[in-house]
Chain A
Amino acid sequence: MLEIKNLHVSVEGVEILKGINLKVQAGEVHAIMGPNGSGKSTLTRVLAGHPAYVVTKGSVTYEGKDLFALSIEERARQGIFLAFQYPIDIPGVNNTYFLKAALNEIRKARGLEELDAMEFLEYLKEKMKTVEMDESFLNRPVNEGFSGGEKKRNEILQMAVLSPKLAILDETDSGLDIDALKVVSEGVDRLRRPDRSIILVTHYQRILNYIVPDHVHVLMGGKIVKSGGKDLALHLEEKGYEWVHPV
Chain B
Amino acid sequence: MNQYIKAFEDLKRGAASADVPWVRRLRGEAMASFIEKGFPTTRDEAWRYTDPTAIRDAAFIFETGAATLSQGQIEKLNRERVGNRIMFLNGRYVREVSSLPENVEVVDLRKALATNPEIEMHCGAHADFKQNAFVALNTAFLGEGVLIRIPEGTVLEVPLRLVFVADPASEDSIFQPRVLILAGKRSGGTLVEHYCAANLKGYFTNIVSEIVLGEGASFRHCKIQNENANAFHIASTWVSQEKGSQFSSWALSTGSRLMRNDCHVGLAKEEASCVLSGLYLGDGDQHLDQHTFIDHRSPAGKSRQFFKGLMAGKSRGVFGGKVLVRQGAVQTDAMQTNKNLLLSDEARVDTQPQLEIDTDDVKCSHGAAVGQLQEDALFYLRARGIGERDAGRMLARGFAQEVIDTAGEGLFKKELEELVSRKLEAQFSQS
Contacts and interface: CB of A to CB of B under 8 A. Distances in A.
Contact of A50 (B379, B387, B397): B379
Contacts of A71: 382, 388
Interface string B377-407: 1011111111110110011011111100000
B379 A72 contact: yes
B286 to A, nearest CB: 23
B428 to A, nearest CB: 14
B384 to A, nearest CB: 4
B375 interface: yes
A186 interface: no
Given A88-B376, A90-B377, A101-B390, A158 B398 contact: no
Nearest to A75: B383
Contact of B395 (A72, A90, A105): A90
A91 B385 contact: no
Contacts of B375: 51-52
Contacts of B383: 48-49, 72-73, 75-76, 81-82, 84
A92 B385 contact: no
A17 interface: no
Contacts of A50: 379
Contacts of B395: 90, 93
B400 A92 contact: yes
A88 B400 CA distance: 18
A49 B385 CA distance: 12
Contacts of A102: 381, 384-386
A90 B377 CA distance: 7
B303 to A, nearest CB: 24
Contact of B398 (A75, A81, A91): A91
Contacts of A89: 377
A90 B380 contact: yes
A158 B383 CA distance: 11
Nearest to A93: B398
A22 to B, nearest CB: 20
Interface in B43-88: none
A148 interface: no
A73 B397 contact: no
Contact of A105 (B379, B385, B399, B402): B385
Contact of B401 (A72, A81, A93, A162): A93
B386 A105 contact: yes
B402 A101 contact: no
Contacts of A90: 377, 380-381, 394-395, 398
Interface residues of A, number: 31
A102 B401 CA distance: 19
B251 to A, nearest CB: 19
Interface in A13-62: 48-52
Binding site of B, secondary structure by majority: helix, strand, loop or mixed? helix
Contact of B387 (A49, A73, A91): A73
Given A92-B401, A93-B401, A109 B377 contact: no
Contacts of A88: 374, 376-377, 379-380
Q: How large is the interface on B (under 10, 10 to 19, 20 to 34, 35 or more residues)?
A: 20 to 34
A101 B379 contact: no
Nearest to B388: A73
B20 to A, nearest CB: 52
Given A51-B375, A101-B394, A105-B386, A92 B402 contact: yes
B379 A162 contact: no
Interface centre among B382, B384, B388 (most CB of A within 10 A): B384
A93 B399 CA distance: 8
A98 interface: yes
A110 to B, nearest CB: 10
Interface in B353-389: 374-377, 379-388
A192 to B, nearest CB: 21
A75 B387 CA distance: 11
A91 B376 contact: no
Contacts of B377: 88-90
Given A88-B376, A90-B380, A90-B381, A105 B398 contact: no
B390 A87 contact: no
Contacts of A76: 382-385
A71 B382 CA distance: 9
A201 to B, nearest CB: 15
A52 B386 CA distance: 19
B384 A109 contact: no
A80 B401 CA distance: 30
Contacts of A158: 384
A141 interface: yes
A73 B386 contact: yes
Interface in B27-42: none
B387 A105 contact: yes
Given A51-B379, A90-B380, A98-B394, A109 B402 contact: no
A73 B401 contact: no
Contacts of A82: 383
A128 B270 CA distance: 52
A10 B237 CA distance: 56
A72 B378 CA distance: 10
A132 B175 CA distance: 61
Q: Which 7 A-B pairs have the closest CB atoms?
A: A92-B398, A92-B401, A76-B385, A102-B384, A72-B382, A93-B398, A105-B385
23 contacts: A71-B382, A72-B388, A73-B383, A73-B386, A73-B387, A73-B391, A76-B382, A76-B384, A81-B383, A82-B383, A87-B380, A88-B377, A92-B398, A92-B400, A92-B401, A92-B402, A93-B394, A101-B390, A102-B381, A105-B384, A105-B385, A158-B384, A162-B384
Interface of A: 48-52, 71-73, 75-77, 81-82, 84, 87-93, 98, 101-103, 105-106, 109, 141, 158, 162
